């Protein structure tokens, strides 16, 4: 699976498992707007920076990034 598709899907599944909305996670990460977070969950545009991945891991410590690569 393409890593962009895998990352977007795994992130969405983890967010849903935690019962959080996209807006809640965007606020936790410190993104300026909801659209920026929605791009992370989109297989077409998911391309997070390492700093963003680090912030996501703090919110979702069980997120298994080994499945992405």
- pLDDT at residue number 67: 80
As a whole number of angstroms, the distance between CA 52 and CA 54 comes to 5
pTM, rounded to two decimals = 0.88
Chain segment 13-24, per-residue pLDDT in tens: 999 999 999 999
Query: For residue 1, what pLDDT is reported?
Result: 80
Average pLDDT in the 27-36 region?
94
Q: Is the pLDDT of residue 33 over 90?
A: yes
Helices (H) and strands (E) in the chain, counts: 4, 0
The model's confidence at residue 69, banded by pLDDT at 50, 70 and 90, is confident
């Amino acid at each position: 699976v393409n890593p962009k598709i895998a990352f977007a899907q795994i992130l969405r599944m983890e967010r849903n498992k935690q019962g959080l909305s996209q807006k809640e996670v965007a606020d936790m990460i410190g993104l300026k707007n909801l659209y920026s977070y929605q791009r992370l969950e989109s297989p077409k545009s998911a391309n997070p920076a390492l700093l963003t991945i680090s912030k996501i891991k703090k919110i979702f410590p069980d997120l298994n990034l080994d499945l992405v690569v």
